[in-house]
Amino acid sequence: MLEQLETISQDALASLKDVQDEESLQRWRVAHLGRSSPLMQVFDRMGSLPKEERPVVGRRANEVKQGLEVAYTQQSEALKELALGRLLQTERLDVTLPGRALSHGRLHIATQTLRQIYQIFAEMGFQVFRSREVETDEFNFQLLNFPPNHPAREMQDSFYIQTGSDRGDDPVLLRTHTSPGQIHAMRQYAAMDPDNPPPVRIILPGMCFRYEQVTHRHEMQFNQVEGLAVGEHITMGDLKGTLSDFARRMFGQGVRSRFRASHFPFTEPSAEMDIECFVCGGVGCQVCKKSGWLEILGCGMVHPVVLSNGGYDPLRYSGFAFGMGPERIAMLRYRIEDIRSFWANDLRFLEQF
């Protein structure tokens, strides 16, 4: 039996030398260490041996088994090393290859223009006040002095999203301008100290929506930046000084501007501001439609009714407000001909800025 064990061990170790892959290694394990292997049969036959031989044969059989198990583990490790070596050879990483270039994102031209506007007004002491895009008729129109059925509403055809008999004269709509934010802001400021409401210096940027015939100058969705300054002794001179300074900082120190009388229900007096056409220098061209001037915003002194709707006593306080379209300003600065390019998402356009 001991001789048989030596033969079993030698045969197994010799055949292990030929094992070169994982599959044959598993076959080897079944053949030499599996349940019906010659070695296991020795263990099975142990009971039939004379009593005095059993410990000697048993010990040797266990040694052979351990020897084969160690050899199996070593061969298994060696095969893994070999496989890894082969993999490293075939899948070599060439670190000298140039990497894939990362394309840099950029800010949308509307965002860039908005940020320039924020920057200019921040330097003049104006803070950004955010206001909602979904409004009630009351805030979008009524508190700004547009009563129901007022003809000035027709300039701002609207997207109504909730009407119904329960809302009567106060349907819900997408805001048509940023001006309702004036009321929200004034009420918020006035609530801090109702007897002595603090001065207001804010700009209110954001998206506006109008049920508009889309053209190269009119979109259904566009940004506005509203401005509001309320305090004691604020005059039309402050309005003109602030906005002329804005125009110089935005379009260049040499730019000339003018104010034309206009009408908005929530300002009195009201005006529109033009800058001198920088394409023709004021002589008259296609861009300025031969007028020599380009309109950039609407403005005026806050109407007394609007001041009191915001919680400010019009006998003590006055203020000015303005509203401009950043996309229109970007169109002027960069000579963009069609406002539809802003939201068409065409990289050939967007990558130019």
Query: What does the binding site for ligand FA5 look like in residue numbers (CB under 6 A)?
Result: 177, 179, 210, 212, 218-219, 222, 224, 226, 264, 267, 297-300, 321-325, 327-328, 339
Find the residue with minimal CB distance to ligand FA5.
325
CB closer to ligand FA5 out of 218 and 316: 218
CA angle (211 as vertex; 206, 214 as ends), nearest 5: 90
Q: Classify 330 in phi/psi space as left (phi over 0), alpha (psi -120 to 50) or beta.
A: alpha
CB of 238 to ligand FA5, least distance (A): 14
Q: Are residues 120 and 203 in contact, defined by beta-carbon separation less than 8 angstroms?
A: no
CB closer to ligand FA5 out of 212 and 238: 212
Both structure tokens of 307: 């001041």
CB closer to ligand FA5 out of 149 and 213: 213
Q: Are residues 332 and 296 in contact, defined by beta-carbon separation less than 8 angstroms?
A: yes
CB closer to ligand FA5 out of 131 and 267: 267
CB of 330 to ligand FA5, least distance (A): 10
Nearest to 214 by CA among 224, 222, 206: 222
CB closer to ligand FA5 out of 34 and 147: 147
CB of 231 to ligand FA5, least distance (A): 16
CB closer to ligand FA5 out of 39 and 226: 226
State the CB neighbour count (10 A cutoff) for residue 307.
23
CB of 269 to ligand FA5, least distance (A): 10
CB closer to ligand FA5 out of 292 and 323: 323
CB of 172 to ligand FA5, least distance (A): 19
Q: Measure the CA dihedral 169/171/176/181, to 10°.
A: 90
CB of 102 to ligand FA5, least distance (A): 34
Cα 103 to Cα 98: distance, rounded to the nearest angstrom: 15
CB closer to ligand FA5 out of 24 and 112: 112
Burial class of residue 344, CB neighbours in 10 A (0-12, 13-18, 19+): exposed
Nearest to 301 by CA among 206, 224, 231, 236: 236
Q: Are residues 298 and 195 in contact, defined by beta-carbon separation less than 8 angstroms?
A: no
CB of 94 to ligand FA5, least distance (A): 53
CB of 277 to ligand FA5, least distance (A): 16
Burial class of residue 334, CB neighbours in 10 A (0-12, 13-18, 19+): exposed
CB closer to ligand FA5 out of 16 and 339: 339
Q: Is the peptide bond before 269 cis (omega within 30 degrees of 0)?
A: yes
Both structure tokens of 269: 């007096």
Residue type for 129, please? F
CB of 117 to ligand FA5, least distance (A): 12
CB within 8 A of 257, min separation 6: which ones?
Answer: 243, 244, 247, 273, 274, 275, 276
